[in-house]
A and B are shown apart, each in its own frame.
Chain A
């Protein structure tokens, strides 16, 4: 027997040991990359600061799971805002700069919120309640759509509905990530799809939107209704509002209607599809193409 397999086994076990780094084994549900970055930071902290963090952690543990999740989402958003600011400014953002950027983001969200003509500008409290309400409805509609398609079971839907909003957001975003990667998998190379797996859900959704801007609808629908050069120029000149799928639907409406007619979809159903929720359009039409292609 050759010694090579033994040596190879020994080397691979050692490599695996160092790669797994038992000393940096993360706690459950924490991204290992985030945990390692946290650990490196922790090791630079003096003992009094560590003690203060331990006290804060005790307070964190006293919160309900929903409150903990909300804090984590705020911390994730803070990291995203700081990251974008650092990229834009070329240096790490100060707390004042970060606070100013947050005010700007809120103002932009206020401007983007739908407001029927003649309706007075909502107060801060009204705007807050409106955002909460729209988020709840959007998440509920998304989960209902997944349940209708059979992507989640009725039991899972009931469990998700019973959660607090921050917990629902966490799980809905994970489901959104999964759906977007699934749609991207027919469009992007395998390596890029692997990279998407490692990104946070909102980054995956943004990446999928950029892909739509470059290539049109994702999945089979993108192949059936491709973008022309003029379409691309038209999409590139827009400022990001409204959302890309809506712009694509408006831009390719006649082509979509023609495609659906050729597939034998009744005109009333075509009208309902094209005037219904835009997020459902891409998924429904991809399903339709998959079924008609497999027949």
Chain B
């Protein structure tokens, strides 16, 4: 008996052969004593296994699928917020980004200040009065010092007044 015959006998025992092949195997078993012995050995072994490890009754109840899905749903991590709130929050966040971005963009468009002009604007008080500041530098410096001295001359021991 070769390997292919052995496999065919196992398929016969497992009732997986179509009827015509099954009839052929039965005819072969009538003829071949070794094949009959092999089939008998296998049937005896499977019977022993069946007694030691009886097949559990696993017939599914009618609502098995429904209950399984429900259990699976319960096992899933719970969402922090209800779906509706999450949707509204997402919408609000998107709106915020759009409005904020628009405000930023339109504001920068309105002012149109380049980094260079920003620096010029920062010093506008000096730059617009440039000529006056140059022409009256002495008087302005003295006025600054006089004002500082008004508040800080008291740091020194009193000098002789005129």
Contact = CB atoms under 8 A, between A and B. Distances in A.
Nearest to B91: A6
Interface string A32-68: 0011001101110000001001101100100000000
A6 B119 CA distance: 38
Interface residues of A, number: 86
Contacts of B141: 70, 73-74
B130 A56 contact: yes
Give chain B's interface secondary structure class: helix
Interface stretch (A186-194, A218-226, A262-270, A272-280): A272-280
A181 interface: no
Nearest to B162: A115
A7 interface: yes
Interface stretch (B18-26, B37-45, B59-67, B152-160): B152-160
Contact of A131 (B96, B117, B121, B145): B145
Interface stretch (A15-23, A151-159, A230-238): A15-23
B149 A145 contact: no
A38 B146 contact: no
B48 interface: no
B103 A78 contact: no
B110 interface: yes
Contacts of A277: 154-157
Given A78-B133, A102-B140, A23 B125 contact: no
A162 interface: no
Interface residues of B, number: 62
A169 interface: yes
Interface string B49-85: 0000000000000000000000000000000011001
Interface string A227-263: 0000000000000001101100000000000000000
Interface of A: 1, 3, 6-7, 9-10, 13-14, 17-18, 21-27, 30, 34-35, 38-39, 41-43, 50, 53-54, 56-57, 60, 70-79, 81, 95, 98-99, 102-103, 105-106, 108-109, 111-117, 128, 131-132, 134-135, 137-139, 141-142, 145, 169, 172-173, 176, 202, 205, 209, 242-243, 245-246, 275-280
26 contacts: A1-B89, A13-B100, A26-B122, A35-B122, A42-B120, A57-B120, A74-B133, A75-B129, A75-B133, A77-B144, A77-B147, A78-B140, A99-B136, A102-B140, A105-B143, A106-B143, A109-B146, A114-B160, A115-B162, A135-B145, A138-B152, A145-B155, A176-B151, A243-B150, A276-B157, A279-B152
